[in-house]
Structure 1
Amino acid sequence: MSSLKVRVDQKKLERAAYVLKCVAHPVRISIIDLLEQKERLTVSQLQEVLQVEQSLLSHHLTNMRDKGVVETKREGKNVYYSLSDSAITNIISCIHACKNF
């Protein structure tokens, strides 16, 4: 047993837990999936695909922005959302790979 050790440093584990808590909702995981497919999308574009109320979608996006998962960029009247770190899309691959989901 003495050869067992935690292979990820504490700071990385804390960040992973923080991000996973933030995205632990079907709508938020769907947003990540959509932003993987198309680099940036507006609230209207996301709403059209997700079929959720704009206020609910905005709530999720604000939470994800505040936690550093997505970024925003204003262009004229539109605000575009994109992923802050594309590595988060590995979550989608993990979900596809899990046989028990």
Structure 2
Amino acid sequence: MEKDFNKYSETADMLKVLAHPVRICIVKGLLDNGERNVSHMQNCLNTPQSTVSQHLQKLRTAGIIEGRRNGLEIYYTVCDEKVSDLISVLLNGEK
């Protein structure tokens, strides 16, 4: 067993960010449906816009998603391939 835990810290940090049902749902929805804006996610999640924005900020800061501005709206996509693979494994192909 390795004693150098530093090399696992990036993965642990990513898992901490994903350790919330709404954030998992956001990432799964983006993976399944492609880029979406906050309004679309708010309607799908039936959650206030401010709450969705807070979750998006955490995902963006962790480098899990990225945004593309189109006028006043920002469209988000998953930009971390490891996250895509992880969500697929965790949800076992669930749709």
Structure 2 length normalisation: TM-score? 0.83
Query: Residue 46 of structure 2 corresponds to which residue in structure 1?
Result: 51
Percent identity over paired residues? 34
State the superposition RMSD in angstroms. 1.9
1:70 aligns with 2:68: no
Deviation at 1:10, TM superposition (A): 4.2
1:81 aligns with 2:56: no
**Alpha-carbon displacement from aligned partner over 1:30-80 (angstroms, at most 9, x marks no partner):** 011001012211001111111111111001001111111111110112101
Structure 1 length normalisation: TM-score? 0.79
* Contiguous gaps of at least 5 residues in structure 2: none
Query: Residue 25 of structure 1 corresponds to which residue in structure 2?
Result: 20
Paired residues, what number?
91
* Contiguous gaps of at least 5 residues in structure 1: none
Q: Which has the larger radius of gyration?
A: 1
